[in-house]
Structure 1
Amino acid sequence: MNAATAEAAITAWIATQGEAMLGELKAMVNTDGGSYDKAGVDAVGAQVRAFMERHAIPVETVRGERFGDCLRATVAGGDATASGNARQNIVLMGHRDTVFPKGEPERRPFRIEDGRAYGPGVADMKAGLVMNMFVLAAFAKHGGAPGPLVGLFTGDEEIGSPEGRAVIEAEARRARVVYNSEPGRPSGGIVTGRKGGVFSVVDIEGRAAHSGGNFEAGISAIGEMAAKITAIHALTDLQRGITLNVGLVSGGQSVNTVAPSAQMQIDLRYVEPADREEIMGKIHDIVARSSVPGTKATLTIRGEFLPLTQSPAAARLFEGYRAAASESGLEIKGEFSGGCADSGFTAAVGAPTLCAVGPVGGKAHSPEEYLEVATLVPRAQALARAILRLEGTGL
């Protein structure tokens, strides 16, 4: 089957799958799947596996000890005798976990209203997972892939991929290209650049004392935390795209006790890779320095994302995607996002990467999160076309 025939068959088949895609999406959204709910995330994985088995697509599991397993589905393609890039994997990537607490699907089950679908994780990024599932199924059914396809379904992206990162990076090192199916932007664009992020916790020790009867014997951890917050926020440099946010604080024992302990959690976002070392160095200096004599502080990094930067190869990948999407009636622009994603890990190891090629949605991580239902089929067709025309990018 030549490329034109394969493209016609695949896009025509995808055009008939809108209701089936919504059925899979409904089941997925109505399944609990917060990052710390391994059983729930793995239940979503079981749905993915069942779909792949119905379409005779092999799936292997990389077990997660604390968080959701990683699933790796494979569809053969290309010339088995070829060499170089032609034998490297074309990766379709996405995460199954959401940010929502246990029971959220029962409180807010999947629904469609005025052309938009709602429910926890409907856009971020269960619609992208469903899209990837059907694109893989289309190639498994009709053939025509210019190389081996890999569908990577991870389980812990929303907390920085503590277990998934190693799997993602290993996959990216042998990838020809990576398409990450995070939700398309509300404008319809895709993401060609993202900030990196470091999520850390600072624990501060002081000494308790009665705040009325023995005040001078106390050492206030909260007082020290206040000084550190001011210093950390002062590192923000909007012109460079560097932001620092202490988003969670806790501490103290009682209102009439000098606080013996306190904790703050820091969100750092940056654009340039070199900025990470500079700002983290300054944070370490602030943590080590005591404004309130006698306090001690320790910093622990709990999660991290690398920035997504557009290499020349990724720029060619974008142009190829944009041209392919135009035949699905989509006018695509590249956008920069302050949010982080697993695409930063794949780009950092050298894989040409596009992000947010999934169906269009908005208001992620909120009760108002939505998906534009009408984008499910055309975004799936656009991705399939981009894969089929990959040779034309020179990648």
Structure 2
Amino acid sequence: MGGIAGTEQDVTGWLAAQETAMIALLAELVNIDSGTYDKAGVDAVGEVLQRFFGEAGLSVETVPHDTYGDAIRATLAHPTANDQRPIILMGHRDTVFSKGEAARRAFRIENGRGYGPGTADMKAGLVMNAFVIAALARFGGHPGPVVALVTSDEEIASPSSRPVIEAEARGARAVFNAEPSRADPQLGPHVVTSGRKGGVFMALDVYGKAAHSGAHYERGISAIEELARKIPELHKLTDLERGITVNVGLISGGQTVNTVAPHARCEIDLRYVKVADRDEAVAAIRTIGETCSLPGTTAKLAISGEFLPLEQTPESTALYEAYRSAAGELGIEVAASFTGGCADSGLTAAVGCPTLCSIGPVGAHGHTPEEYVEIASLAPAAQALALAVMRLRDMEA
């Protein structure tokens, strides 16, 4: 292990021996349904993690919410550290899957891969965070307080968790977000995320006038026709060179086949790279959406959820280099890439906290029945994270 010795060796050695325990915790988490809107299920996953944190001797707090799962904050204190800004190990426990999916696709291991709803995105990352903070609690070596922050609604842009995440990040030293890392044929076996697009989810409602489409067609005003006129114009806002995409992903409308449609609705996904591009793109979408060409129709655009982009800064680059160096001493070759996907890491970066995303175990195919995590990556990912956290004392505060 190169220059790894003393407490670092204690921590990484203990984590290397925990694969069986990690698998057991992962199976327990995966086998509980925790779709974002299933508060009871999300909180049940949280209870498992709170039990683990308590057994590790950590201080555990919850931030309750009536609609979504409660946020969980497990803290490993360091009263004598000069820098009392916490190091945040962040992850979400909600999934995109409906109730009953865990029973239909219970956790299983085949050919070295763990399968099940939310296995990679991101229950394996939560397992990693839990064991890392437990290892530091057991052996020490952390340069300041460490917080495991477990949120509940990332899959719908964190409506309840965003203020919690932002408050934590404003006073933090660094954030490691445990979204899954990935293997890439060109970049290597352990690719983390250097940047992410921001995203805005919007709903556009168009209103017309109902009429019998056979007897009184001329009395009707079709909301569907008006919406249909808007969709090509919305898609024309896409500018691939600037990294801006606009996608109408869902449409609905009408009353019956023999009624002129009084209402139609579409849901729009905007992605962008630079914070400065966000307002311009939203304004253009609003202009198209709310300016009607069919007389008698009206329309209203509403934002239903939003992610902020993860933009590179000198501080986040330094955090990546520290992580890459630590992983390298463990024989893990790390690379970084940009992705159009969104995550809570954009929220922490936006408030000025150095952030590194996708340092979880290696996985793929999230949000699908083919989702998996590489079992052999569980312990090494935990070792790399733990070593990076321990060596933050060498970075400039």
State the TM bucket, normalised to the shorter chain.
over 0.9
1:283-362 paired onto structure 2 within 5 Å: 283-362=285-364
Tell whether 2:191 aligns with 1:189: yes
Whole-Å separation in 2 of the counterparts to 1:374 and 1:329:
14
Indicate the residue corresponding to 1:175 in structure 2: 172
1:247 aligned counterpart, secondary structure: strand
Whole-Å separation in 2 of the counterparts to 1:201 and 1:79:
50
1:78-157 paired onto structure 2 within 5 Å: 79-80=80-81, 82=82, 86-157=83-154
1:182-261 paired onto structure 2 within 5 Å: 182-187=179-184, 188-261=190-263
Q: Which amino acid aligns with 2:7?
A: A
Indicate the residue corresponding to 1:22 in structure 2: 23
Superposition deviation, residue 11 in structure 1: 0.5
Indicate the residue corresponding to 1:37 in structure 2: 38
Superposition deviation, residue 78 in structure 1: 6.7
281-290 or 337-346, which moves further after superposition?
Answer: 281-290
2:316 aligned counterpart, secondary structure: helix
| TM-score normalised by length of structure 1 | 0.97
2:150 aligned counterpart, secondary structure: strand
Indicate the residue corresponding to 1:11 in structure 2: 12
Superposition deviation, residue 271 in structure 1: 0.3
Superposition deviation, residue 310 in structure 1: 1.1
Indicate the residue corresponding to 2:187 in structure 1: none
Aligned with 2:156 (options 159, 170, 183):
159
CA deviation map 1:115-146 (0-9, x unaligned):
10000000000000000000000011111110
2:182 aligned counterpart, secondary structure: coil
Tell whether 2:383 aligns with 1:389: no
Whole-Å separation in 2 of the counterparts to 1:197 and 1:291:
28
Q: Retained in 2: the 8 A contact 1:94–1:125?
A: yes
Q: Which amino acid aligns with 2:151?
A: T
Superposition deviation, residue 64 in structure 1: 1.4
Tell me the matched-pair count: 389
101-110 or 285-294, which moves further after superposition?
Answer: 285-294
CA deviation map 1:320-350 (0-9, x unaligned):
0000001222110111010000000000000
Whole-Å separation in 2 of the counterparts to 1:391 and 1:48:
28
1:175 aligned counterpart, secondary structure: coil
Q: Which amino acid aligns with 2:385?
A: L
Whole-Å separation in 1 of the counterparts to 2:366 and 2:22:
20
Show structure 2 runs of 5+ residues with no match: 185-189
Superposition deviation, residue 90 in structure 1: 0.3
Whole-Å separation in 1 of the counterparts to 2:79 and 2:8:
14
Question: Over the residues paired in the alignment, what is the CA RMSD in angstroms?
Answer: 1.0
Whole-Å separation in 1 of the counterparts to 2:183 and 2:61:
34
Superposition deviation, residue 76 in structure 1: 1.6
Whole-Å separation in 1 of the counterparts to 2:6 and 2:75:
22
Show structure 1 runs of 5+ residues with no match: none
Whole-Å separation in 1 of the counterparts to 2:283 and 2:32:
41
Whole-Å separation in 1 of the counterparts to 2:196 and 2:118:
20
Superposition deviation, residue 391 in structure 1: 2.0
| TM-score normalised by length of structure 2 | 0.97
Q: Which amino acid aligns with 2:100?
A: G
Whole-Å separation in 2 of the counterparts to 1:112 and 1:394:
42
Whole-Å separation in 1 of the counterparts to 2:212 and 2:181:
55
Whole-Å separation in 2 of the counterparts to 1:218 and 1:92:
56
Identical positions, percent: 58
